Structure 1
Amino acid sequence: MNGAALLETLTAGLPSLRGRLTAEAPLKDYTWFRVGGPAEVLYSPADEADLAYFMKELPAGIPITVIGLGSNLLVRDGGIEGVVIRLGRGFGDIKIEEGSRLRAGTAVPDVKVARAAADAGIAGLTFYRGIPGGIGGALRMNGGAHGTETCEVLVEARAVDRQGNVHVLPVADFHYAYRHCGAPGDLIFTEALFQGRPGDPAKILAEMDEIAAYREEVQPIKSRTGGSTFKNPPGNKSWQLIDAAGCRGLKIGDAKVSELHCNFLINEGNATAADIETLGETVRARVKETSGVELEWEIKRLGNP
């Protein structure tokens, strides 16, 4: 089934849908690498109720892929079959609650959560200033930076399953580990509740400024990149292993290992997803050859070659 045919099927079968469906939507527009093929159909839900309706009525044989803000994502050049779901404005609210708690929709960028917490005098969420992407991705990857991880501040999260049921999961149900979430893969997170602690807004903002300055100094944040490419192996740092393997500045086409921070791959202009993935696999092979360590991808790679 091509995008137009799938769109026609979905439109006919979902008469009460309020969200937007787009056939053959170019996903490169939604990833920080700015590469990748199209979604057969892209769905942008209006809100959680719209998403639940869509999931309940969607035929079981149609595959679903969920993407966030695209910061740690590589979409392959052949695109993604079925429906790609991307949460937007209907999942962008932030609410401050009693007891130094903050509730945020999963389409909210991490940096906005950090800023809202600072403005409200809530300490403990400053680390989100150093994580690209959105809250949905942080939940799914146990996003962390500067010594703190999502599992340490999350209270609970709302999610919709493949049958359209809404769940509220306490943090224990996520079974978190380093860059790992053990919650069922078919859940689409819609909202998260975080627990901070009372703090002085000026001090929190100063800490955020330090984090921002550090990132700009040591990471290629102004380039087309996907953030940290590989997870840190136990007892090692990926960038040190990559550097020791002689991969700093290595290029394939317009894909390049950053010379500023060699656990970042960058698109210097016209790289394809294949260029970037091949470069990453070349780095993995050289690190394995020189150190015996097998690097594990942190960037999510989706779609067909």
Structure 2
Amino acid sequence: MSANPIPAIRGRVQAGAALAPFTWFRVGGPAEWLVRPADAEDLVALLAGLPEAMPLTVLGAASNLIIRDGGLPGVVLRLGGAFGAVQAEADGLVAGAAALDAVVAQHAAAAGLAGLEFLSGIPGAIGGAVAMNAGAYGTEVKDRLDWAEVATAAGVQRLTAAELDFAYRHASLPPRGVVLRARFHAAPGEAAAIAARMAEIRAAREATQPVRARTGGSTFKNPPGARAWEVIDAAGCRGLRRGGAEVSGKHCNFLLNTGTATAAELEALGEEVRARVLAHSGVALEWEIRRLGIPLTEGAAA
């Protein structure tokens, strides 16, 4: 472990912190440095003072992430409660990056605002939803976002949806930029209709996805003209196992940690699925789950 390279901030700095408990898969090695800034000003000071060569990873709800067994080098940034405020307005809602997507949907419903029900079907937090243009049930973040405030070493920038240049599961953030909060437009709606739509989304997720398992959400992006689960199923991968990792029998675009899986087993199983799909249908699946860090047997970040 190197000497502490972290600039003096008011938040918490922890060396060698376990990260597996934060992730939905419950796997992965430690952070070299886990940093939790006190507020936006503290975060900007951190970004301004970090050495340029220091790796920086933002850890949100960690619902779509495999942290490799050797852990994450550099700084792992986790935003706490100070970044989770949600404020309803007449024609929209402003949500902090740490606010869970489902909680934001609930706030909108309580305020009688329609159009954000889709967030109740996304397992994550607002910062990650903006950074990856998350979507579900026919709506994506780009369809509802007015602006996002992003912390950088130079300060806080407010970027419009157009400036974020959204694409499928992607937003163009400034280098080493960290989403602080975002505004979504919505419209007054009938409370009963909003509640019914959210209940419908919850029921659909319960019926079709392994929501109570140790999983990471959709593993692969939908390929052009198809759905990932369909080509995975056609290639005979439903229920495929490697060690403690398994392709869900309920929805085969989900990987599961059945209880003893390592990050290496999950990633290797995903690669085996990709190879089988490519051989069967010629479709080259792209990972949607992020895979970060150092494999346990290697000494350098991948």
Taking structure 1 as the reference length, what is the TM-score of the superposition? 0.95
Matched, 1:40 2:32: yes
**Pick aligned residue for 2:116 from 116, 119, 125:** 125
More displaced stretch, 110-119 vs 55-64: 55-64
Give how far 1:282 is off.
0.1
Q: Residue type of the partner of 1:23?
A: A
Q: CA contact under 8 A between 2:12 and 2:36: conserved in structure 1?
A: yes
**Pick aligned residue for 1:224 from 180, 194, 214:** 214
Runs of 4+ in 1 over 2 A off after TM superposition: 182-185
Alignment of 1:147-296 (within 5 A): 147-161=138-152, 163-296=153-286
Q: Which runs of 5+ in 1 are unaligned?
A: none
Tell me, in whole angstroms, the C-alpha distance in 2 between the residues paired with 1:183 and 1:303: 21
Give how far 1:166 is off.
0.9
Q: CA contact under 8 A between 2:86 and 2:95: conserved in structure 1?
A: yes
Tell me, in whole angstroms, the C-alpha distance in 1 between the residues paired with 2:28 and 2:18: 8
What are the Cα deviations for residues 190-222 of structure 1, in whole angstroms up to 9, with x where unaligned? 000000111012210111011101100100000
Q: Residue type of the partner of 1:30?
A: F
Could you say which residue in structure 2 is the equivalent of 1:115? 106
Taking structure 2 as the reference length, what is the TM-score of the superposition? 0.96
Q: Residue type of the partner of 2:159?
A: L
Q: CA contact under 8 A between 1:228 and 1:298: conserved in structure 2?
A: yes
Q: CA contact under 8 A between 1:68 and 1:136: conserved in structure 2?
A: yes
Could you say which residue in structure 1 is the equivalent of 2:78? 86
Aligned residues: 295
Alignment of 1:34-113 (within 5 A): 34-98=26-90, 100-113=91-104
Could you say which residue in structure 2 is the equivalent of 1:29? 21
Task: Say what the alpha-carbon RMSD is for the aligned residues.
Answer: 1.0
Tell me, in whole angstroms, the C-alpha distance in 2 between the residues paired with 1:277 and 1:131: 22
What are the Cα deviations for residues 228-274 of structure 1, in whole angstroms up to 9, with x where unaligned? 00000010000000000000000000100000000000000010000
Q: Residue type of the partner of 1:165?
A: G
Q: CA contact under 8 A between 1:51 and 1:164: conserved in structure 2?
A: no
Q: CA contact under 8 A between 1:21 and 1:42: conserved in structure 2?
A: yes
Q: Residue type of the partner of 2:139?
A: T
Could you say which residue in structure 2 is the equivalent of 1:301? 291
Give how far 1:18 is off.
1.2
Tell me, in whole angstroms, the C-alpha distance in 2 between the residues paired with 1:154 and 1:103: 10
Q: CA contact under 8 A between 1:158 and 1:169: conserved in structure 2?
A: yes
Secondary structure of the 1:227 match is coil
Give how far 1:61 is off.
2.4
Q: Which runs of 5+ in 2 are unaligned?
A: 296-302
Tell me, in whole angstroms, the C-alpha distance in 2 between the residues paired with 1:164 and 1:30: 29
Give the 3 Å change call, closer, same or farther, for CA 9–142 of structure 1 in structure 2. closer
Q: CA contact under 8 A between 2:84 and 2:98: conserved in structure 1?
A: yes
Q: Residue type of the partner of 1:50?
A: D
Q: CA contact under 8 A between 2:5 and 2:50: conserved in structure 1?
A: no
Secondary structure of the 1:116 match is helix
